[in-house]
């Protein structure tokens, strides 16, 4: 073997080794990218899936025998360590739930000779007893803190009282007592310093009294009102916590009274059975927040009602039904959420969430229906009383408000006039219900992308066609890098300029800006027509490929003229004020709107589409266009039927890449829109996109909350959409390439 052959063999081995190393590196890189995508998808799925998981109930976590006579209600602390049982005779007993004591560790007698009982919303935790002497005692039990229990402190639980001069409220005066009147039914409301007491007396009349607290905390009676005899005997009295609305139920008829001019007046009378005797009413309860009435019917059906504003008047409206078996014994509304628990004769328990209409829990947890039930303030512990035994269950129901219908269908929220798509994740109120429809965010994302593409695609694609096919190489070497340099601009700068500088200009010169969208293309056509009419000798003197320079001064002059004439155009067409004209025709206008987004985000997307499309057109083999021209086709025919067909896979890929860029854009839509989650195709209104919502709300969301996980769901939607767009683009590109490969 010669030295040359040995040297060549060594070089072949080195080349083989380099080829193997590069193949391994490229393969590893590709697999790593795919693995990263899979890991991203898995992580997003791990964060999102818990919101669709079923709830659970772990019963008999603690069992405590208690001594009770005639219990009327009970409560438990948020730690599941103590329970309070209130007896009908006016006594309260505190029990530990560790089964170490056979007697209550604290007892108190609230009032003697009690004849009526009432309680406020569970979130307020106020109770009231009325006795035969016409006195009403309000009290609020407090539990020991777990730290105090662990330290063995001997402090007794505290009971707060609302009293009149250190005594129970004298609801009935001596004249009423001497007439033999007594309290039969009772309800009340405490709102700041105003206390409202409502009672039905033994003569079937309803008496209302208001008490005002002074700066020192002492209460005094400020007003009273006797309702008309026409109301008669009522089955149930119920008042909202603010004391503004009073509900009187007589069988299935509900009378609604509201305050005004220091007295209650009838607002409306409703038939809760909707005229069907089979749906006669069993009881009514207030949902958390006291905006909704939960109506329980004897046939097991549970219906939700709340006020709806119609013709500037509020009317209690039937919203939705929950069809439950007729064996339902009682309902337990959630403390802070818009759900309720239902207990059946056979011990089955269900949990429904009203807004999402989701059945989050269905389990036979007990041997029979408990006598009483109470939910802790944090809604993690459920205590039931049955046969003298308190049983504690752990509740795992973290995401009842999330369902497919609440995310993607119209939902009728409290105080809304009709079902709507709403995204409103936070509020300053404790009783606020999160509204998590993803439809407005998805709509806003598509709307922003659509208007951006409407602006970017014609400019980018037509510019790429001219640059690659008609422009001289010298000009192309200047134009193409300049446009590609636009992509280096940070989108936060584009959004900042669009929101703070360009949006006010659009607002001030709206008529001129809209006119430019029509006048600039028209002026280009006019110049082309004039150029076509010029003598051939004049046209031939201008070098080929430099014709675009003629349009530069024309476009500049046209823009200046239209901007200067914008005021006159506005006066001529819109009576001097286009915004007033739009408002008169029901078209809203926001300064930061989709028109601004179309310009700003289109400016950011143009380089992406232009670069890929221009490369695709410029890369069409020269022999194809030369052959077409040689066969007698005009340059325009060659462009349409040869060049563009061959480059169509690349042009389509460019458009799809631009669409993916527009959908995922964050900073421009964050800074140049009002970020209002509305659903309106009006180009003069803003929107809220998925990406902007994630950027704004994720840092402030509570980890593990429904809000937090839904933001990750929004991220997954963006991920899937981008992946789908790119996959479709690649599939179409391959099909088009195979179709026109024979050219």
Region(s) of the chain under CATH 1.10.3720.10: 444-740
* pLDDT tens readout for residues 161-181: 888 888 888 888 888 888 888
> Which residue is associated with the tokens 């008829």?
253
Dist. CA 69–CA 104, nearest whole Å: 13
- Quickly state the pLDDT bin for 460 (edges 50, 70, 90): very high
Radius of gyration of the chain (CA): 37
- Is pLDDT of 154 > 50? no
HSE-CB for 283 with a 13 A CA cutoff: 8
- Is pLDDT of 642 > 80? yes
- pLDDT, position 147: 54
Q: Which of 60-69, 302-311, 396-405, 661-670 has the lowest mean pLDDT?
A: 60-69
Dihedral sign (CA 724, 725, 727, 728) = positive
- Is pLDDT of 85 > 90? yes
Quote the tokens at residue 231: 């109301």
Dist. CA 573–CA 511, nearest whole Å: 9
For residue 681, CA distances in Å to 149, 447, 687 come to 60, 7, 9
Mean pLDDT of 332-342: 89
Quote the tokens at residue 354: 């009203």
* pLDDT tens readout for residues 542-551: 777 677 778 8
What is the rounded (10 degree) CA torsion for 639, 641, 644, 648?
180
Dist. CA 693–CA 675, nearest whole Å: 8
N residues, the chain: 743
HSE-CB for 663 with a 13 A CA cutoff: 22
Residues 75, 82: contact at Cβ < 8 Å?
no
Helices 594-618/644-664 angle, 10° precision: 150
- Is pLDDT of 78 > 80? yes
DSSP designation for 501: I
H or E segment and range at residue 169: strand 169-170
HSE-CB for 449 with a 13 A CA cutoff: 25
Quote the tokens at residue 617: 């057109």
Dist. CA 222–CA 262, nearest whole Å: 10
- Quickly state the pLDDT bin for 714 (edges 50, 70, 90): very high
Residues 609, 658: contact at Cβ < 8 Å?
yes
Q: Is 532 helix (H, G, I), strand (E, B) or coil?
A: helix
- pLDDT, position 411: 92
What does the buried/exposed string (b/e) look like for 475-510 if buried means 16 or more CB atoms within 10 Å of the residue's CB? Answer: bbeebbeebeeeeeeebeebbbbbbeebbeebbebb
Would you put residue 312 in left (φ > 0), alpha (ψ -120 to 50) or beta? Answer: left
Beta strands in 181-300 (DSSP E): 183-191, 194-201, 206-213, 219-226, 236-239, 245-250, 253-260, 263-271, 281-286, 292-297
* pLDDT tens readout for residues 549-597: 788 888 888 889 988 888 888 888 887 788 888 888 888 888 888 999 9
Q: Which of 148-162, 291-305, 431-445, 713-727 has the lowest mean pLDDT?
A: 148-162
- Quickly state the pLDDT bin for 290 (edges 50, 70, 90): confident
- Is pLDDT of 324 > 80? yes
Residues 407, 438: contact at Cβ < 8 Å?
yes
Dist. CA 47–CA 730, nearest whole Å: 30
Q: Which of 299-303, 536-540, 683-687 has the lowest mean pLDDT?
A: 536-540
Mean pLDDT of 515-535: 85
- pLDDT, position 1: 57
H or E segment and range at residue 357: none
H or E segment and range at residue 251: none
Dist. CA 282–CA 271, nearest whole Å: 13
- pLDDT, position 167: 86
List Cβ neighbours of 149 (8 Å cut-off, separation of 6 or more): 81
* pLDDT tens readout for residues 94-131: 988 887 778 888 888 999 889 999 998 887 889 999 99
- Of 725, 733, 675, 719, the closest CA to residue 45 belongs to 719
- pLDDT, position 313: 86
* pLDDT tens readout for residues 408-438: 999 999 888 899 999 988 765 666 788 899 9
Q: Does the 444-740 domain belong in CATH 1.10.3720.10? A: yes
Dist. CA 445–CA 688, nearest whole Å: 7
- Quickly state the pLDDT bin for 541 (edges 50, 70, 90): confident
Quote the tokens at residue 255: 């009378």
Region(s) of the chain under CATH 2.130.10.10: 110-144+156-273
Would you put residue 289 in left (φ > 0), alpha (ψ -120 to 50) or beta? Answer: left
* pLDDT tens readout for residues 222-259: 889 998 887 878 889 999 988 899 999 998 999 999 98
Q: Is 84 helix (H, G, I), strand (E, B) or coil?
A: strand
Q: For the chain, first and last CA: distance in Å?
A: 50
- Residues 110-144+156-273: name the CATH superfamily: YVTN repeat-like/Quinoprotein amine dehydrogenase (2.130.10.10)
């Amino acid at each position: 073997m010669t030295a040359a052959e040995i040297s060549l063999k060594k070089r072949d081995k080195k080349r083989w080794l380099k080829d193997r190393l590069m193949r391994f590196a490229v393969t590893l890189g590709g697999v790593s990218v795919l693995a990263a995508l899979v890991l991203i998808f898995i992580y997003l799925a791990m964060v999102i899936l818990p919101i669709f998981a079923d709830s659970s109930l772990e019963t008999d976590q603690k069992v405590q025998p208690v001594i009770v006579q005639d219990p009327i209600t009970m409560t438990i602390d948020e730690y599941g360590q103590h329970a309070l049982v209130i007896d009908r005779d006016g006594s309260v007993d505190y029990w530990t739930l560790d089964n170490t004591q056979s007697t209550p560790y604290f007892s108190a007698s609230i009032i003697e000779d009690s004849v009526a009982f009432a309680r406020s919303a569970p979130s307020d935790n106020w109770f009231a007893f009325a006795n035969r002497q016409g006195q009403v005692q309000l009290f609020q039990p407090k539990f020991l803190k777990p730290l105090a229990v662990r330290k063995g402190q001997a402090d007794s639980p505290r009971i707060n009282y609302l009293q009149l001069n250190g005594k129970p409220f004298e609801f009935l005066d001596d004249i009423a007592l001497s007439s033999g009147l007594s309290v039969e039914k009772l309800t009340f409301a405490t709102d700041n310093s105003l206390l409202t007491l409502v009672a039905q007396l033994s003569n079937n009349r309803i008496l209302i009294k208001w008490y005002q607290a002074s700066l020192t905390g002492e209460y005094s009676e400020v007003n009273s009102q006797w309702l008309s005899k026409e109301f008669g005997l009522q089955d149930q009295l119920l008042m909202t916590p603010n004391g503004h609305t009073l509900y009187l139920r007589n069988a299935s008829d509900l009378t609604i009274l509201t305050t005004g001019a220091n007295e209650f007046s009838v607002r409306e009378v409703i038939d809760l059975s909707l005229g069907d005797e089979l749906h006669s009413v069993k009881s009514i309860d207030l949902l958390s927040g006291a905006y909704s009435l939960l109506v329980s019917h004897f046939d097991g059906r549970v219906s939700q009602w709340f006020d709806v504003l119609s013709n500037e008047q509020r009317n209690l409206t039937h919203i939705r039904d929950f069809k439950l078996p007729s064996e339902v014994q009682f309902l337990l509304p959630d403390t802070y959420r818009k759900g309720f628990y239902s207990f059946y004769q056979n011990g089955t328990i269900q949990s429904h969430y009203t807004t999402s209409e989701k059945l989050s829990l269905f389990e036979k947890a007990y041997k029979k229906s408990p006598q009483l039930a109470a939910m802790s303030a944090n809604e993690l512990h459920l205590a039931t009383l049955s046969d003298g035994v308190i049983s504690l269950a752990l509740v795992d129901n973290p995401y009842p408000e999330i369902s497919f219908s609440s995310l993607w269908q119209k939902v009728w929220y409290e105080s809304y006039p009709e079902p709507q798509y709403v995204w409103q994740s936070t509020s300053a109120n404790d009783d606020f219900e999160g509204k998590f429809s993803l439809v407005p965010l998805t709509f806003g994302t598509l709307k922003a992308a659509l208007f951006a593409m409407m602006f970017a695609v014609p400019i980018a694609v037509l510019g790429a066609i001219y640059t690659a096919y008609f422009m001289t190489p010298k000009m192309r070497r200047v134009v193409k890098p300049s446009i590609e340099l636009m992509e280096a601009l940070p989108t936060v700068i584009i959004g900042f300029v669009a929101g703070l500088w360009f949006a006010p200009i659009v607002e001030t010169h709206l008529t001129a800006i809209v006119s430019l969208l029509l006048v600039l293309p028209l002026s280009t056509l006019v110049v082309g027509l004039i150029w076509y009419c010029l003598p051939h000798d004049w046209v031939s003197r201008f070098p080929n490929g430099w014709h675009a320079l003629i349009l530069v001064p024309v476009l500049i002059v046209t823009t200046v003229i239209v901007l200067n004439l914008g005021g006159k155009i506005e006066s001529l067409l819109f009576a001097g004020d286009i915004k007033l004209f739009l408002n008169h025709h029901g078209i809203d206008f926001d300064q930061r709107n989709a028109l601004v987004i179309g310009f700003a985000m289109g400016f950011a997307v143009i380089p992406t589409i232009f670069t890929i499309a221009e490369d695709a057109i410029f890369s069409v083999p020269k022999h194809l266009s030369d052959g077409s021209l040689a066969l007698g086709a005009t340059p325009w025919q060659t462009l349409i039927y040869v060049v563009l067909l061959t480059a169509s896979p690349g042009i389509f890929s460019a458009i799809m890449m631009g669409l993916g860029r527009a959908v995922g854009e964050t900073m421009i839509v964050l800074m140049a829109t009002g970020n209002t989650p509305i659903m309106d195709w009006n180009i003069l209104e803003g929107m809220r996109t998925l990406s902007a919502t994630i950027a704004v709300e994720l840092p402030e969301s509570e980890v593990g909350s429904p809000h937090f996980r839904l933001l990750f769901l929004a991220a997954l939607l963006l991920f899937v959409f981008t992946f789908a767009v790119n996959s479709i683009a690649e599939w179409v590109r391959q099909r088009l390439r195979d179709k026109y490969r024979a050219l």
